[in-house]
Structure 1
């Protein structure tokens, strides 16, 4: 059993090393919609710690979405422009039973666009009046349909952009891995979590096999 435990530990260590090393590849990243928040009176964006389907911004707050290629939240690209709640919702008065949320949508640049798609040139700003308990996703849906999500609840498209793909792995900025450049890598639709989940499953299977072998030798 001690030998089996050692094998499991080694396999787990290899998994951690592999997962931790992946983001360090030069120029690698993911093409996706990043989600940002800005509280009332705040001047800078904060990368959201919850997804839009869970976060519940309050009245007077601003949410932003930017489509770009980024390695992770630390270097994610923020929405451009100086629009804030007072500007976006200037003509939308407060109303009992609802809240107002400023929504900023930055479709990014042509360099970050998937092959066959061209991003709208101008960012969009909307003042969403929604129920007091509405999520950021519901506020976004109120002003920028159609939205598209994948099976893991990752936001894939806003106002129909991009037309396909979701969180593809990119080998170099703007270039999908394994496609010869510019095409959609459908294997990347699961995003970073897919590799981690698959690796963890492999450790469980191999670890179980090691334990079984150890028990068999003792019998």
Structure 2
């Protein structure tokens, strides 16, 4: 084999390794999430992510709503409230009153894996809030699960004093908080998308280098 061919082989191999390293660097890291209370409406036998925040939503009499504390990337992967969610069962001991409405609430404090450092989530609970006809979901929650804590953008930070600190902070892929408050809205958009430009470029570079190596090998054999 001539020196030129050896040099060419080393060049192709080096470029291949460089492109592969670039591809790995361009691949997205484990997605970060946010630690926060999500808000849900009961739709028949299933939960639907609420289209309004609890401060503006005005549930009807007989409604069932849920709150779940968890770490999630966006509304599409948010954990749903667990446990029974039947209005007649939750509000069985709360009689109706004229001029007031009853709203059944399912409050799920989440799992130990979602809890901030040093805190233990309480057991999930249900409650029946009897409130004024024009009251909001936030009013219903305040009637049965004080103390509540809110942050900027009216983000619900704590229910029944859980968690004691933090408010929608970003959580890195390793589970550690990064201290960035979640800019939440009632209806969230997913931040996921297609492959990055760097990822596509890396794949293309490897394909080109592989074709060049194959052409060179065939040339030597010929």
Q: TM-score w.r.t. structure 2 length?
A: 0.68
For 1:88, the equivalent position in structure 2 comes to 90
Structure 1 residue 152, shift from structure 2 partner: 1.3
For 1:160, the equivalent position in structure 2 comes to 161
Alpha carbons of structure 1 residues 51 and 173: separation in structure 2 relative to 1, 3 Å: farther
Structure 1 residue 151, shift from structure 2 partner: 2.3
Q: Which segments of 5 or more consecutive residues in structure 2 lack a partner in the other structure?
A: 1-27, 186-222
SS in 2 for 1:145: coil
| Matched-pair contact (CA < 8 Å) for 1:29–1:173 | no
SS in 1 for 2:88: helix
Structure 1 residue 115, shift from structure 2 partner: 1.0
Q: Give deviations 1:60-114, integer Å, cap 9, x for gaps.
A: 0111000000110111000001231111001222211000000110000111111
Structure 1 residue 38, shift from structure 2 partner: 1.3
SS in 2 for 1:130: strand
Structure 1 residue 56, shift from structure 2 partner: 0.5
- Give, in whole Å, the separation in 2 of the partners of 1:61 and 1:52: 13
| Matched-pair contact (CA < 8 Å) for 1:113–1:174 | no
- Give, in whole Å, the separation in 1 of the partners of 2:174 and 2:60: 35
Q: Give deviations 1:3-30, integer Å, cap 9, x for gaps.
A: xxxxxxxxxxxxxxxxxxxxx7523110
- Give, in whole Å, the separation in 2 of the partners of 1:173 and 1:28: 9
Moved >4 Å (runs of 4+) = none
1:67 to 66, 69, 77: 69
- Give, in whole Å, the separation in 2 of the partners of 1:192 and 1:145: 22
Alpha carbons of structure 1 residues 62 and 171: separation in structure 2 relative to 1, 3 Å: same
- Give, in whole Å, the separation in 2 of the partners of 1:54 and 1:154: 12
Structure 1 residue 173, shift from structure 2 partner: 6.1
Q: Which segments of 5 or more consecutive residues in structure 1 lack a partner in the other structure?
A: 1-23, 178-184, 194-219
For 1:26, the equivalent position in structure 2 comes to 30
- Give, in whole Å, the separation in 1 of the partners of 2:48 and 2:92: 23
For 2:131, the equivalent position in structure 1 comes to 130
- Give, in whole Å, the separation in 1 of the partners of 2:92 and 2:30: 44
- Give, in whole Å, the separation in 2 of the partners of 1:126 and 1:65: 12
Structure 1 residue 189, shift from structure 2 partner: 2.2
Deviates further, 75-84 or 60-69: 75-84
| Matched-pair contact (CA < 8 Å) for 2:34–2:182 | no
